[in-house]
Amino acid sequence: MMAAATKKIWMDGKLVDSADAKVHVLGHTLHYGVGVFEGIRAYPTPAGPAIFRLPEHVARLVASARFYRMPLPYSAEEIARAIIDTQRANEITPSYIRPIIYRGEPALGVKNQKGRVSLAVAAIPAKKYLGEQSESGVRAKISPFRKPHSDAIPSYAKADGNYLNSYLAGIDAAEDGYDEAILLDQNGFVAEGTGENVFLVRGGTIYTPGPESDILIGVTRASVLQIAKDLGYPVVEKLLSVNELLSADEAFFSGTYAEVAPVREVSHYVLGNGTPGPITRDIMDVFYRTVRGEEPRYASWLTPVTPPARAVPRPARRAATS
């Protein structure tokens, strides 16, 4: 994800030029990591641009803010509207949309809860996660950095500070020549990627860690679980050992940015024959058709980015001729 190539950013009710979207250097969020955010994608569809699972992302954002005691001056409907307005103002598809809730006014002191809670929303051009590897398969490294236990930092709230952990794991994997990291939980079970949930396939069954592995409960994960069940695959959420991952037939990541991306190798262990397996491809196929608006079954997962309501000119009234 690169620099924000965007025109307008929504900040507390106004669409401002990107260059003017600034906050104070003494803002609470910058110092203590107490902010919450979302990553959302908008896709081109035959009916125009559409946002994938908007209500689910807004609900998670509201829940994350609530957990961190950030009283929001906006309702869920207003946040959804701000996201749609930002997407429309920038006319970018596919796009990656980033709403963030933060305290940006000068307020030092870790327990400081004073100061306005703000919402900003940006939309930037969305790239394919890891480019070519997103199709041919990602090489992932089991990270030496483990997920913090949710009793320390809850994984189900998507908070800024959680990403210190993802950052360390991600750069460690990159320095070792891998595309991505897979983090274990405090008990050594498989948890998730730096910004993705992880699935594996063994003997025709799909497995993924559950909430007890200190994962973010991904919106894409829920979509994949639904698609997998509808395709008739057995799906099991359970604690997964490293061994089960290293000897899996197939594995894949799910996430808003990663979408559905095959994993072909984990810490030098080649999975299956080193190419995306048939079940992974089956799920990818339905997922990518869904986001492009080609799967009527999941049409309700897409929120159209409708043009602004305009006053429709009324036809001139004609004098009665009869």
- CB 118 to ligand PMP: min, Å: 21
Residue type, 110: V
Question: Between residues 49 and 255, which has the closer beta carbon with respect to ligand PMP?
Answer: 255
Question: Cβ closer to ligand PMP: 107 or 126?
Answer: 126
Enumerate binding residues for ligand PMP (CB under 6 A). Answer: 39, 166, 192, 195-197, 216, 218-221, 254-256
Decide whether 107 or 179 has the Cβ nearer to ligand PMP.
Answer: 179
Helix (H) or strand (E) holding 286: helix 278-291
Min CB(292)–ligand PMP separation in Å: 17
Nearest C-alpha neighbor of 54 from the set 102, 95, 1, 6? 95
> Between 219 and 271, whose beta carbon lies closer to ligand PMP?
219
- State the nearest-atom distance from the C-beta of 272 to ligand PMP, in Å: 23
Looking at beta carbons only, is 118 or 220 nearer to ligand PMP? 220
- To ligand PMP, the closest distance from the beta carbon of 219 in angstroms equals 4
> Strand 235-237 and strand 205-208: pairing?
parallel
Q: Which of residues 70 and 182 has its CB atom nearest to ligand PMP in the complex?
A: 182
- Between 39 and 262, name the residue whose CB sits nearer to ligand PMP: 39
Enumerate the H helices of 28-90 as residue ranges: 28-32, 54-67, 76-90
Q: Which residues of 150-169 are buried (b: 16+ CB within 10 A; e: fewer)?
A: beebbbbbbbbbbeebbebb
In whole angstroms, how close is the CB of 106 to ligand PMP at the nearest point? 29
CB 207 within 8 A of CB 199: yes
The candidate with the shortest Cα–Cα distance to 184, out of 220, 148, 219, 208, is 148
- Residue spans of alpha helices (H) in 91-132: none
The Cα 49–Cα 51 span in angstroms is 7
Residues 217, 190, 227: CA angle, nearest 5 degrees: 45
Residue 238 annotated to the active site:
no
**Which residue's structure tokens are 């933060």?**
102
Q: At closest approach, how far in Å is the CB of 192 from ligand PMP?
A: 5
Q: Which residues contact 80 (CB under 8 A, 6 or more apart)?
A: 54, 55, 58, 303
- Shortest Å, Cβ 213 to ligand PMP: 11
Identify the DSSP state of 135.
H
Q: How far apart are CA 167 and CA 180, in angstroms?
A: 11
The one catalytic residue among 8, 141, 147, 158: 158
Distances (CA, A) of 29 to 64, 67, 103, 159, 300: 14, 15, 6, 10, 35
**Sequence-distant (≥ 6) Cβ neighbours of residue 128 within 8 angstroms:** 134
φ, ψ for residue 30 (rounded to 5)? -60, -35
> Which residue numbers are catalytic?
158
